[in-house]
Amino acid sequence: MFENLIEPSVLDALIKFGINVGIILLKIVVVLGITLLHVAYATYFERKVIGHMQVRLGPMRVGPHGLLQPIADGVKLFFKEDIIPAKADKPVFYLSPVIFMAAAMVSLSFIPFTGNFVIADVNLGLLFLFAMSGLGVYGIFMSGWSSNSKYSFIGGLRSTSQVISYEIAMGLSLVGVMMMAGSLNLSDIVKAQENSPFGIFAIPQIVGFVVFVIAAVAETNRTPFDLPEAESELVAGYFTEYSGFRFALFFLGEYIGMFIMSSICAVCFLGGWTMPWYIMKIPFLSYVPGIFWFLLKVYAFIFFYYWIRATVPRYRYDQLMAIGWKILIPVALANILITGLIKILL
């Protein structure tokens, strides 16, 4: 049919290209679907965990043990009236939740779920993740600016300065991992951990790990660093004026951001889809698929987020900045220095 128009070799290449695109699209659909479901049930998980930590029950009414609560919430959000403030900067107001959400969504494509399931196996994957989390701040700041409300504006400003400060600490805490793995490719980092004597980088890079955990909580604007959305001072912070579907986008973005941070932690410090050799010595564990280990680590870290939220009160803003600049960054720098020295000397 096409023989007259295209040479057979070109046609073959085109078909191969088409198949590749189809596979990538399929992967994207799978990841997106699972992530959206994950976000819905992450809210349920959070409410249950925090409820039980406060000796309450959490959601119990919709479905058995409140299992359908996230779906009810989602339906409610989609059918709510979409209110736009009269004095809002409308184009920016429309755009900012999309930026926030898209930046979070794009990050998903770099995460290696198992050894052979990653949408984009980029050599600079780690750097790309930083870039995307930095881009998400634009969504927050623009939403705070365009809402034309003092609460939103203060929330947006706080979020911007907080995320920028903690991004430095987070990036520096991961430099140690990059040096040990010798690569920025996330799959290579996991493989380097598998071959390292400790099995996971969290043990030799314990300082970097602690700095990363603190910075990750601050980076996603979660308690105790949730000053951008401090309820007692700022109503809801940068998304005060948003409602309905646009609010849902911010919500999705925040929970996907948590998922991304947990994934980075699992991949860079906890060994991703592999387990250390000394744990794999236990019989039958080698039959467990890698995705299970990956999700186990991710959800353990997400549980840690909730646990922290149920325990620690919010910091004051100057304390937050002092922790970021005066403690975390020097500690992370010292960690890099020591890691480098050990790498040269050994």
Partner 1 sequence: MTIKELVKKITFIEILKGMALTFSRMLSKAVTIQYPKERRDIAPGYRGLHALAKHPTIGQAKCVGCGLCAAICPSQCIKIVREKGKVEKYEIEVLRCIYCAFCVEACPYGAIVLTENYEYSDYSREALYMTKDKLLSNWDKYMAGKKGEEYFKRFWRPMSEDFETPPTQASFRGRRDAS
Q: Of 16 and 52, which CB lies nearer to partner 1 in the complex structure? A: 52
**Contacting partner 1 within 26-65 (CB under 8 A):** 49, 51-57, 60
Beta carbon of residue 123, minimum distance to partner 1 (angstroms, whole number) = 36
- With beta carbons less than 8 A apart as the criterion, state whether 250 and 162 touch: no
- With beta carbons less than 8 A apart as the criterion, state whether 239 and 232 touch: no
Beta carbon of residue 301, minimum distance to partner 1 (angstroms, whole number) = 14
| Residues in binding contact with partner 1, number by CB under 8 A | 14
Q: Of 44 and 239, which CB lies nearer to partner 1 in the complex structure? A: 44
Q: Please give the Cα distance from 39 to 99 (Å, whole number).
A: 18
Site string for partner 1, 301-340 (x = CB under 8 A): ------xx-xxx----------------------------
Beta carbon of residue 200, minimum distance to partner 1 (angstroms, whole number) = 20
Q: Of 140 and 265, which CB lies nearer to partner 1 in the complex structure? A: 265
**Contacting partner 1 within 207-266 (CB under 8 A):** none
The closest of 206, 177, 148, 186 to 273, measured between CA atoms, is: 186
Q: Of 63 and 289, which CB lies nearer to partner 1 in the complex structure? A: 63
Beta carbon of residue 305, minimum distance to partner 1 (angstroms, whole number) = 12
Position 112, amino acid: P
Q: Of 56 and 80, which CB lies nearer to partner 1 in the complex structure? A: 56
Q: Of 52 and 90, which CB lies nearer to partner 1 in the complex structure? A: 52
Q: Of 173 and 240, which CB lies nearer to partner 1 in the complex structure? A: 173
- With beta carbons less than 8 A apart as the criterion, state whether 282 and 304 touch: no
Beta carbon of residue 313, minimum distance to partner 1 (angstroms, whole number) = 10
Phi then psi for residue 90, to 5 deg, are -60, -50
Sign (positive or negative) of CA dihedral 217, 200, 117, 45: negative
Q: Please give the Cα distance from 11 to 263 (Å, whole number).
A: 39
- With beta carbons less than 8 A apart as the criterion, state whether 332 and 208 touch: yes
**Contacting partner 1 within 59-98 (CB under 8 A):** 60
Cβ neighbours for 81, distance < 8 A, ≥ 6 positions apart = 243, 244
Beta carbon of residue 318, minimum distance to partner 1 (angstroms, whole number) = 17
Beta carbon of residue 206, minimum distance to partner 1 (angstroms, whole number) = 12
Give the CA distances from residue 18 to residues 23, 50, 119, in Å, rounded to whole numbers and listed in that order. Answer: 9, 47, 16
- With beta carbons less than 8 A apart as the criterion, state whether 269 and 262 touch: no
Q: Please give the Cα distance from 55 to 35 (Å, whole number).
A: 29
Site string for partner 1, 168-207 (x = CB under 8 A): ----------------------------------------
Beta carbon of residue 60, minimum distance to partner 1 (angstroms, whole number) = 6
The closest of 152, 169, 288, 250 to 217, measured between CA atoms, is: 169
DSSP class of 1: -
Q: How many CB atoms lie within 10 A of CB 128?
A: 18
Q: Of 310 and 321, which CB lies nearer to partner 1 in the complex structure? A: 310
Which residues of the shown chain bind partner 1 in the complex (CB under 8 A)?
Answer: 49, 51-57, 60, 307-308, 310-312
